Copies of this chain bind each other. A is one copy, B any other.
Amino acid sequence: MTEITINSPFDMHLHLRDDDMLKLVAPLSSKTFAGAIIMPNLVLPVDTKQAVIEYKNRILDAIGDDDFKPFMTLFFKPYTKEFLSDVKDEISAIKLYPAGITTNSEGGVETIDTIALAPTLNAMAELNIPLCIHGETNGFVMDRESEFMNVYEELAIAFPKLKIIMEHITTKDAVKLVQKYDNLYATITIQHLLITLDDVAGGMLQPHLFCKPIAKTPKDQEALLNIALSGNDKIMFGSDSAPHPKHAKEACGCAAGVFTSPIALQILVELFEKHNALDNLHKFVSLNACKIYDMQPSSKQVHLIKKDFTVPSSYDAHGETVVPMKFNQTISWSIKN
């Protein structure tokens, strides 16, 4: 195959940041995606209807004329049903962060208590608002996701009508659990399909591959790859593309996040082709998300061509510089302009 068309590709987990970084990265998603679930962890978390609308408008300004839908989210807090009913049409999901677990999550939930959180979660279930979760404990870095499985399980059982999205899963434990409960779903990133801790810290230390949750073992990576390639109905592509300025990544005390927006589709086509799974790619990058989120596909089509694409050493605009995964490396597929 030398050309491929992807209908309505969605990125179901995306960080667009704000201000100059937003202006740099938003067009790099809107060029190749039909829409994305936009994370709400700005420096001031997005937690009011007004903040949602204003952030959405800043995103629409940043992408210009591109055909791209920002599906907005709220930062999880105990919200009333009245508030949720009022904001419902402006959001696609609510994102829960355990407090302090990753970038700009200080205002997250201290304890995930199914009784204390029941009013909010029951209202979300009634209003059909999915709950997206960054599922990590504050334990040992390689065990944080696996240790969180009982929290997912408890929530899945306590709120059977609530759609729960296990975000950016990284372990075989998560791959197993997502298949156990009807109301659990998951997103998987590009990097967790491709790398393990070896790539981050097995040779030289690679800050541009450092993210949370950290990449795990070869067995975990294999499990993630297998379920993504299979087209399993519960699994969606979510890049978790998380730009940080170059100087903040290549420094002592580098921030967590891998930037993949402008290379994601090319890599996915290369990967699914390599594993003879191109037939399932559309489910992974679009159809499953539409079913899980009750979304309509966009009419946007993205065309790729089998032609080498050398990833730039950085993307620079508006005074910001961000380094993508696979910088200076070559991918065998390109976006056809």
Contacts and interface: CB of A to CB of B under 8 A. Distances in A.
Interface in A138-155: 140-142
Contacts of A208: 252
A196 interface: yes
Interface stretch (A29-37, A171-179, A210-218, A231-239): A210-218
A73 B273 CA distance: 51
Contacts of A252: 206-208, 249-250, 323
A218 B143 CA distance: 11
A277 interface: no
A83 B283 CA distance: 67
A255 interface: yes
Nearest to A219: B140
Interface string A271-283: 0000000000000
A204 B255 contact: yes
Contacts of A198: 140-141
9 contacts: A140-B196, A140-B198, A141-B197, A142-B197, A201-B210, A204-B254, A204-B256, A205-B207, A250-B252
